Amino acid sequence: MIIFTLFTIIQSQIAQLSLNGEGLKEQLLQMIDENQLDCQTIQLLITRGFGQQILDLITTDSIILESHLQCAKQSIQNDLLQLESLKKRFTNHENHVLIKPIILWAQSRANILIKVKFAHRIDAPAYISVKNHQIQYLNQNLQISAESDQNNILTKFYLEIPLLNQVDKTIGWQVESVGTMVLNITKIESKLWLHLSKNKNDKFQIWWDLKEQIGKDMEDFSKMLDNQEDHLKNKKKQQKKSDSSQQSSPIKTNIFVAFFLKFKQWLNKWF
């Protein structure tokens, strides 16, 4: 709460600075006089493009901000480190990129059909030179992997799906158009599945283009999904009803923030 409030105060100071561009130097000086130019503010100023003005203050007015700059530098470096570690999540090796291929799935009672697209997103162009396709069914997990060295960058594709129910070990697959392939999986027990994956967070799109080709089983599957949706909606409605009796807290919070801001203004005026 306090961090949020302070952040709002800093934001509004910066908004003022950007409105009155020419008086910037005076305002910066005033902020220094009032001891309000802290590490966080400097970092924000730099990210908003006021870095040069700060440098000017140091060179022309020889205002010493070394400790400020040091801590601003530290926090910017921390951001960079975070960016690096984020990057590492996508590239698990110096020189190859790891991508989850995109899949669509359809089913009859007997089979699962999966269209695999080797791309970043469903609507992005597929990689053209995909090779070393490997499809495995191991410990009830479906593993799909392949590689591409398009543009001389080694890209590895890997997706693992813990299948909802058991399937036959031998999985038929063939490369379809450029950068896509189709798997034909045989179910052990002949029935429709509500999901493809055991993992509730896996949300795979349905391959509705096969509705005609597969026919009645896909229609039944579609009804099954509609029923599930209705069921979930009703559940949510009921939850909302029981929640609505205890929902005055956001208003209280706003009053508290407003009060805190007033209090802070008052403090600044008198101390």
Ligand X SMILES: *[C@@H]1O[C@H](CO)[C@@H](O)[C@H](O)[C@H]1NC(C)=O
Residues that bind ligand X (CB under 6 A): 111, 113, 184, 186
Nearer to ligand X, 73 or 109 (CB): 109
Residue given tokens 């961090």 in the structure block = 3
Cα separation of 57 and 121, whole Å?
A: 47
**Closest separation in Å from C-beta 184 to ligand X:** 4
Nearer to ligand X, 188 or 255 (CB): 188
Q: Which residue is nearest to ligand X (CB)?
A: 184
Angle CA 173–174–178, to nearest 5 = 135
**Closest separation in Å from C-beta 207 to ligand X:** 11
Nearer to ligand X, 42 or 116 (CB): 116
**Closest separation in Å from C-beta 182 to ligand X:** 7
Burial degree of 32 (CB within 10 A; 0-12, 13-18, 19+): middle
**Closest separation in Å from C-beta 190 to ligand X:** 11
**Closest separation in Å from C-beta 92 to ligand X:** 34
| 182 token code pair | 């189709």
Phi, psi dihedrals of residue 148, rounded to the nearest 5°: -145, 145
Q: Are 146 and 157 in contact (CB under 8 A)?
A: yes
Nearer to ligand X, 37 or 135 (CB): 135
Nearer to ligand X, 37 or 113 (CB): 113
Buried b (16+ CB within 10 A) or exposed e, 6-21: eeebbeebbeebeeee
